Amino acid sequence: MIQEKPHENLVVSPYGVASILGMLLPGAHGNTKQQLLNGLRINSKGPYKMFRKMRKILTAKTNNNFITIANALFPQEGFNIRTNFLNTNRDNFLCDSHPLNYNNPQKSADFINLWMQNRTKGHIHSIINADMLDPSLTRLVVVNSIYFKGKWKSRFQVQNTKMRSFTAGDGKSYQVPMMSQLSAFNFGWANTPDGVKYRVIELPYQGNHTSMFIAFPLESVTPLSTILSHLTTKTVNGWAKLMRHGKIRLLLPKFTTQMEMDLKKPLSALGITDIFLKGKADFQHLSSEAVYLSTALQTSKIEVNEDGTKAAAATTGRARIRPVEPELVVTSVSAITAVFKPVHVLHVTPEFAYATLTKPEVAHAIASEPELTHIVPAQPKAVSRLLYLREAKQSTDDYVQNFC
């Protein structure tokens, strides 16, 4: 994905993609099922235990002010959907079922979008269009929603946000709103296997269970792309050992970014191909009608401001049946920017790369392999100067020593 859009921001929800594949899993059979298991890095013995554990971690009492998760199935009224498929999704994903009349595409799309808006606190307004819901084809829409909103432990003061010059990856200088604060953070230095040195800083959210990690090259002339391929889950998990706690002045761009991504190629790169192929997709445990997935899209949005971070992502897929070709629309609505120590969700803005971490159980499913890291965590474009970190002298306001 990075190679296809090297000069664009790339934001992907790991939990959204993993969950939507997991919700399809009880309907899959044979090689189709095995490809899903392989892509998710789970085995056939108790595959849903991992999803229940992820949900438990993400919705733990310590995180209930940060994250809300909801799942739903929207089948066509009268669609022959198997009871076991419904029960497995209900028991493992707490998934509701809302039958709709897709003979009225606009009304159905409005219903699904309203459901999504409510679950993402209005962060994403639309995930599906009426023209996607062909009355003769649509059989099911599957939705996963996860919404995150975290407040900084040490917030930025609005009055300190000023327009400052910023040099982006294209070498041009831009005036951007730059937040600023003097506070104590964990920060340190790391090296890529090629010897490129880069800096890392941890910005904790309230509660100290969730943090955003920012990584950027030590030298301003070094493009961000030189460290991106190095940022695997193992790398991010090792950052804690390299950090020290100290007072620094942090200048961080205030930003909002949104993107849409076609997930078909990334999923195919993980070996998940049969679900997209007419004649090979095997969802016999979902319905007696033979369906295959024709498209898989995700729209993601993230906002970082003085108070904290909030994000959302919507993933949609369209499947068709053979031979009369009704349609299965698969949708994942997700919002995640911070997961918990230590798993990696990597997002890149025009200015810097940032990662959020969670517990190892989640890491195994979401980003334990570099290949999966490339489709699930948010990954990114190359840029140069990201943000300024100046080390504060203990007894003066003259912060001139570079954090380097």
What is the per-residue pLDDT for 27?
Answer: 94
- How many angstroms separate the CA atoms of 387 and 320, rounded? 47
What is the per-residue pLDDT for 363?
Answer: 32
The beta strand positions in 106-229, using DSSP E, are: 138-151, 162-167, 173-191, 197-204, 211-217
Higher pLDDT pick, 15 / 393: 15
DSSP letters for 233-252: HHHHHTGGGGEEEEEEEEEE
264-293 pLDDT, tens digit per residue, is 888 999 999 999 888 899 999 999 988 888
- How many angstroms separate the CA atoms of 35 and 38, rounded? 5
Higher pLDDT pick, 43 / 384: 43
CA dihedral 175, 377, 278, 4 (to 10 degrees): 40
Q: Which helix (H) or strand (E) holds 259?
A: strand 255-262
116-163 pLDDT, tens digit per residue, is 888 888 888 888 888 888 888 788 888 878 788 888 999 999 999 999
What is the per-residue pLDDT for 16?
Answer: 83
Per-residue pLDDT at 29 exceeds 90: yes
Q: Which helix (H) or strand (E) holds 269?
A: helix 264-269
* Residue 390, SS3 per DSSP: strand
CA atoms within 13 A on the CB side of 241: 5
- How many angstroms separate the CA atoms of 389 and 404, rounded? 8
What is the per-residue pLDDT for 114?
Answer: 93
Confidence of residue 253 (pLDDT cuts 50, 70, 90): confident
| Domains within the chain, CATH numbers bracketed | 10-150+256-303 (3.30.497.10), 152-255+305-311+320-356 (2.30.39.10)
What is the per-residue pLDDT for 321?
Answer: 55
Mean pLDDT, rounded, of the chain: 73
Confidence of residue 402 (pLDDT cuts 50, 70, 90): very low
Confidence of residue 326 (pLDDT cuts 50, 70, 90): very low
What is the per-residue pLDDT for 233?
Answer: 76
Least confident of 15-24, 156-165, 250-259: 250-259
Look up the pTM and report it: 0.75
Query: Are residues 58 and 15 in contact, defined by beta-carbon separation less than 8 angstroms?
Result: yes
Confidence of residue 388 (pLDDT cuts 50, 70, 90): very low
Query: Are residues 339 and 319 in contact, defined by beta-carbon separation less than 8 angstroms?
Result: no
CB neighbours of 301 closer than 8 A, spacing ≥ 6?
11, 123, 124, 256, 257, 258, 311, 312, 313, 335
336-376 pLDDT, tens digit per residue, is 223 233 222 222 233 355 445 443 333 333 332 222 222 22
What is the per-residue pLDDT for 155?
Answer: 92
95-113 pLDDT, tens digit per residue, is 999 999 999 999 999 999 9
Put residue 41 in one of left, alpha, beta given phi > 0 → left and psi -120 to 50 → alpha: left
What is the per-residue pLDDT for 317?
Answer: 57
- C-alpha separations of 393 from 59, 170, 219, 396 in Å: 40, 33, 22, 6
User: In terms of C-beta density within 10 A (0-12 exposed, 13-18 middle, 19 or more buried), how is residue 394 classed?
Assistant: exposed
